[in-house]
């Protein structure tokens, strides 16, 4: 029963946040493009890191 009420509380919180997310989040624009480029660059760098580490283990 406690687990049910815990899940109900967590679910209600997510529904409320999802309903009013347009009030919380700023409008998309240049900041979103810049953020996507930064995250893409980080993804490429992390991929290169793992490829280099894997290559060192191969030798």
Q: What percent of the chain has pLDDT over 90?
A: 56
With cut-offs at 50, 70 and 90, classify the pLDDT of residue 44: very high
pTM of the model: 0.53
With cut-offs at 50, 70 and 90, classify the pLDDT of residue 59: low
With cut-offs at 50, 70 and 90, classify the pLDDT of residue 23: confident
* Cβ-Cβ contacts under 8 Å for 17 (sequence gap 6 or more): 24
Residue 50 Rama label (left phi>0; alpha psi -120 to 50; beta) = alpha
Average pLDDT, the chain: 89
* Domain spans, the chain: 2-58
- Distance, CA of 34 to CA of 36 (rounded, Å): 5
**The two three-digit tokens of residue 38, written as one number:** 């930064």
Give the per-residue pLDDT at 27.
Answer: 78
């Amino acid at each position: 029963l406690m687990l049910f009420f815990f899940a109900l509380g967590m679910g209600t919180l997510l529904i409320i946040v999802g309903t009013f997310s347009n009030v919380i989040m700023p409008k998309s624009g240049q900041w979103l493009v810049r953020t996507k480029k930064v995250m893409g660059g980080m993804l490429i760098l992390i991929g290169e890191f793992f490829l280099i580490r894997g290559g060192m283990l191969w030798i």
